[in-house]
Structure 1
């Protein structure tokens, strides 16, 4: 366990995440997700986390492991065609992970997901959280639409509201 990582996580107050993702921004991102999902049969979720708790830090939990846990706990996997995609943002590690369900993951390479993560991280480094999330949602929507375009029945299966963990 890195002492630097340990201190970074435990010293990150919860209000920092809310400062960068205030209610109006969450509403704006929610609208972007809703608009994207009207063009395809997938579901996009966003989870934002400040820092890990002491137990997770002690166990050495990685951002990828937390992303997988959030994917499961938020039920992003629970879509009819297995086309759920989660963007996981961890503030303390300055990490972005994308977890996709098996339906969409069959068609999209890890390199494509990584490219979206890096673009989002670039926006975040500039402090442009709104544009970063909107660009990521748009890019993910285009990938989903290429393989799962909207059909006659296109229910909104999951909440579009970003979640702060």
Structure 2
């Protein structure tokens, strides 16, 4: 291969690797809104995690210590994601669950930590929730490590909120 042709191909390949995630095609989700619409509905911290794939500081979420029966819902669209009965203390400083509700989450591979991790997001709005690891308790052996700011807690005695439209 001619040197100039090879350099052109390598440069194009490297440029493709450095594209920000926002320029890549995102999967379609049942609920889509503009950035301005989401920013009007959630806090700046929640927006940073949900739609910019940020991570909150470990130990910063009051939901980490939440132990009441109830349901954890997506802070953006209010889709129920986890039953509180599936939450456990992982010692990581983030709310952790061993099992999501059926159909609540989607996954993708994330390379931000220089090694592949499984990122999970709300299946309805695509809001980033956290990462799933294989070091959780039985019966699944999984640890869904969630950003608390991406969740809202609804106690069992309260009705679940209506899904956002």
User: Is the structural similarity TM-score above 0.5?
Assistant: no
The structure where helix makes up a greater share of residues is 1
The structure whose RCO (Cα within 8 Å, separation 6+) is larger is 1
Of structures 1 and 2, the larger Rg is shown by 2
TM-score (normalizing by structure 1): 0.27
TM-score (normalizing by structure 2): 0.27
The structure where strand makes up a greater share of residues is 2
